[in-house]
Amino acid sequence: MKNEMKMEFDAISANEAFARVAVAAFVSELDPTLEEVSDIKTAVSEAVTNAIIHGYDGIEGGKVNIRCLIEQDVLHVEVMDKGNGIEDIEKAMEPLFTTKPELNRSGMGFPFMEAFMDDLEVLSVAGEGTTVIMKKKIGCIPWIEDEE
């Protein structure tokens, strides 16, 4: 099975909810569990929020692109912006590291994407933009049981 979806929307915070719900709706054909849906929504929300806040500095006028691909039981999600790009990707991915503490950012965006998806790749060129590529296999039992 193969299925692809692309969308483009304005980089404004009102679209964050729309983006995560749209991706969650697209993946519904794989019959994900509620937990898997929450995982995907959180990860997409983080990536889109990063594009808006960091990619475009919260300034309106930019666009965020999302491309989703379902291949067998794996969801691929790409979140792209043509904004600032990231100078030091390794540093940006460190837990609790943030360049915008004044905006109450927690520095947990990338760690949450890593925690809730199976694979995370960040491609970025300073001044040109950032693409976040995430993958998640749907319908497999997590190999680490929840501690609770």
Partner 1 sequence: MMENFKVIDNYLMVRMPEEIDHHKSSYISENADKFIVQEKVDHVVFDFEDTKFMDSSGIGIILGRYKKISCFGGKVFAINADNRIRHLLMISGLHKIVEIME
Q: How many other C-beta atoms can be found within 10 angstroms of the C-beta atom of residue 123? A: 14
Among 20, 36, 50, 84, the one annotated catalytic: 50
Q: Say whether 105 is catalytic.
A: yes
Count of chain residues binding partner 1 (CB under 8 A): 29
- The answer to whether 146 contacts partner 1 (rule: CB under 8 A) is yes
Interacting positions 46-75 with partner 1 (CB under 8 A): 46, 49, 52-53
Report the alpha-carbon distance of residue 121 to residue 83 in Å, rounded: 18
Q: Say whether 67 is catalytic.
A: no
| Half-sphere exposure of residue 82: CA atoms within 13 angstroms, side-chain side | 8
Interacting positions 87-126 with partner 1 (CB under 8 A): 95-96, 103-109, 111-112, 115
Report the alpha-carbon distance of residue 89 to residue 32 in Å, rounded: 31
Beta-carbon contacts of 50 under 8 Å, excluding residues fewer than 6 positions away, are 109, 110, 130, 132
Q: Say whether 147 is catalytic.
A: no
Smallest separation (angstroms) from partner 1 to the CB of 96: 8
- The answer to whether 145 contacts partner 1 (rule: CB under 8 A) is no
Residue 112 in 3-state DSSP? helix
**Dihedral of CA 26/27/31/34: which sign?**
negative
Residues annotated catalytic, as ranges = 46, 50, 105
Question: Which residues of this protein are in contact with partner 1, per CB under 8 A?
Answer: 13-14, 16-17, 20, 35, 38, 41-42, 45-46, 49, 52-53, 95-96, 103-109, 111-112, 115, 146-148
